[in-house]
Amino acid sequence: MANVDFDFDSLREAATDVLESAAQGVNRIAMENLEFVKGFTRMCNDGWLQGWHERNGGNLTYRMTDEDVAAARPFFDAKPREWVEMGVTGENLAGSFFLSTGSGKYMRNVTEDPAHNIGIVEINETGTAYRIVWGLLDGAKPTSEFPSHFMNHSVRVAATDGADRVIYHAHTPGIIEMSFIVPLTDRDFTRRLWQMMTECVVVFPAGVGVVPWMVPGGPAIAEATSNLMKTYSTAVWAHHGLFAAGPDFDTTFGLAHTVEKAAALYVAARAANGGSEDWLNKIEDKGLVDTCRDFNIAINQAFVD
């Protein structure tokens, strides 16, 4: 009988490795099939299909519900990563969990490989730092606009009594085009967008805020945007794109889609009109006010004459 020399330790180690990586694969699939993760990845892809996310442009964050956290927790990393100070504070978000796109990641890749392109972060008990608990594999970080998103979540939670959960930033071409030819004020942008399409005043009756061109990614643009988001659920970033907030993925994407469509209509109508804003026909202010009255919506009176 041959003398076979089994190395049981190596065999056991190899078997454990195989089982561990199989378990990781199964966990990843289970995680990526949770409803809020599917909604999130679908929205990333929706924006990509609209042409709003060239290269690593745009970002998305979602404030998870307690139910989302309970469903996702079994798949969290065994050991969370280090706490990272954000440079901004959101006391009303202490202990919250967010799903976020990754810094430098491409929206077009999110659906293919969520675990490398998005991740869940936990906020500390003072609302000043985050740590990654799932996803963002191989050293990835949350979007560089995370401080902006975080401050805006904080403002929107206060403004909507906790209803708003989604913050979305996209490089919407119509809005960028408008920022070359329309004065950079809330009133100038809002009136023109409302007048483009009957639906607009119903979808964003408060109007839109406008942030002049600023360096992205820092606390200054975060603060300027969050000041506007106390009043509006959408802010224009001049020569950059759009910032939108809402209670869920459908409403937030729908809001960005409506604003951007109106902006594209404005640019096209103005070009077709020889560059002039002297329209032959348009929705009058009385029409905007009457629409809101009939839909039982409070229009922002500051923007109608």
Torsions phi, psi of 168, nearest 5? -135, 135
Nearest to 122 by CA among 155, 76, 176: 76
Amino acid of residue 149 = H
CA–CA separation, 279 vs 189, rounded Å? Answer: 16
Provide the 3-class DSSP secondary structure of residue 276: coil
The token pair at 256 is 């960005």
Among residues 182, 190, 192, the alpha carbon closest in space to that of 212 is found at 182
Which position among 32, 145, 177, 260 bears the catalytic label? 145
Question: Known catalytic residue: 260?
Answer: no
Please name every residue paired with 101 in a beta bridge, in sequence order, or none if there are none. Answer: 118
Instruction: Indicate if the alpha-carbon torsion angle 179, 246, 145, 224 is positive or negative.
Output: positive
Q: Name the one residue in this structure whose structure tokens are 């020569």.
A: 239
**C-alpha–C-alpha distance, residues 201 and 289, integer Å:** 9
263 vs 2, 174, 190, 193, 271, CA distance in Å? 81, 5, 10, 6, 12
**Enzyme catalytic residues:** 145
